[in-house]
Amino acid sequence: MIKVAVFGAKGRMGAAVCQAVEEAEDTELVGAVDSGDDRSAALGADVIVDFTTPDAVMDNLSWAISHDINTVVGTTGFDDERYQTLRDQLANHPSTGCLVAPNFSIGAVLMMHFAEQAAKFYESAEIIELHHPNKVDAPSGTARTTATKIAAARQEAGLGEVPDATKSQLDGARGAVVDGVHVHGVRLRGLIAHQEVLFGAEGETLTIRHDSMDRVSFMSGVLTGVRGVLDRPGLTIGIEGLLGLE
Ligand code: NAP
């Protein structure tokens, strides 16, 4: 049995992780820590899963690494500087692993992977991300990451700019532009988290669509991370490698 503690255990994601860990046959929940709780409740865990806040996560990880506890991190707000801080801390704890994944939904990871594969074959590429109206940022992190991956694949394939003859437009009519890829955001009551990646060439289009209907969609990826981090010392970013997609 893999002993798992959860930081952010009373949050929306953390609570779902606690339930998933309790339900899985090879994991057991040994600690549930939320803000104000004593982190020592997580001592003895093989893996700590952190779904807290960008402000809290680095201190939590520093504490976990200093205690040689592996971590699986879904909390957002990571940049290169934060990744480097983690690498530096992990260097002093060579048997400890830390997996940070911006997206634990296997479908979303596959969507980005397929989009990256398709990008080099198509002259045109655009992204539409669709979310519930309570979302505060736009475009979504997943849409940004997809655009960046598509742009890198296009560059590697020697593709130029996407064709677009627009000469006049209302502000925003062609969406935001991320690394040369147009990204459109829809905010609609009734939606949860969805994305379409559209590719076009002469005479054909290809649409790759992913729909998240429930937070439970992240749990299989989180559990994959919990199992995988035990054999992966150092910093791992994303679950692609654990899914055999790299
Ligand atoms: P949430 O409902 O606000 O949950 C965060 C929880 O962490 C709250 O209960 C909060 O307590 C607690 N917390 C704050 N500081 C803490 C600390 N130092 N130690 C322990 N617990 C602490 O947020 P959420 O929707 O679950 O999302 C959590 C994070 O996951 C966000 O960064 C979100 O963007 C990210 N996320 C990632 C994925 C992915 O696939 N990677 C998917 C969904 C969400 P208080 O409310 O009392 O402060």
Task: Please give the tally of structural domains in the chain.
Answer: 2
Identify the residue whose C-alpha is closest to ligand 1 atom 16: 35
- The CATH number of the domain holding residue 93 is 3.40.50.720
Residues 223 and 193 reside in one and the same domain: no
Q: In what order do the strands lie in the sheet with 97-100?
A: 27-33, 2-7, 47-50, 70-73, 97-100, 234-237
Residues 132 and 157 reside in one and the same domain: yes
Q: Is 135 a catalytic residue?
A: yes
- Enter the DSSP assignment of 243: G
What pLDDT does residue 72 have? 98
Residues 87 and 134 reside in one and the same domain: no
- The CATH number of the domain holding residue 204 is 3.30.360.10
Residues 157 and 207 reside in one and the same domain: yes
First to last CA, the chain: 28
Ligand 1: atom nearest CA of 53 is 32
Q: What is the span of the domain harbouring residue 76? A: 2-100+216-242
Cα separation, 246 vs 58, in Å, equals 27
* Ligand 1, pocket-test mutation among 17, 35, 79, most atoms within 8 A of CB: 35
Dihedral angle sign, alpha carbons of residues 40, 45, 50, 52:
negative
Residues 203 and 228 reside in one and the same domain: no
| Active-site entry in 67, 113, 135, 167 | 135
Cα separation, 152 vs 146, in Å, equals 10
Q: What is the pTM of this model?
A: 0.89
Residues 209 and 114 reside in one and the same domain: yes
Q: Is 131 a catalytic residue?
A: yes
Residues 127 and 206 reside in one and the same domain: yes
Per-residue pLDDT of the chain (246 residues; tens, 9 = 90+): 999 999 999 999 999 999 999 999 999 999 999 999 999 999 999 999 999 999 999 999 999 999 999 999 999 888 889 999 999 999 999 999 999 998 999 999 999 999 999 999 999 999 999 999 988 889 988 999 999 999 999 999 999 999 999 999 999 999 999 999 999 999 999 999 999 999 999 999 999 999 999 989 999 999 999 999 999 999 999 999 999 997
What pLDDT does residue 141 have? 86
Residues 87 and 153 reside in one and the same domain: no
Residues 86 and 120 reside in one and the same domain: no
- Enter the DSSP assignment of 214: S
What pLDDT does residue 76 have? 86
Residues 114 and 191 reside in one and the same domain: yes
Cα separation, 153 vs 113, in Å, equals 11
Residues 125 and 68 reside in one and the same domain: no
Residues 238 and 170 reside in one and the same domain: no
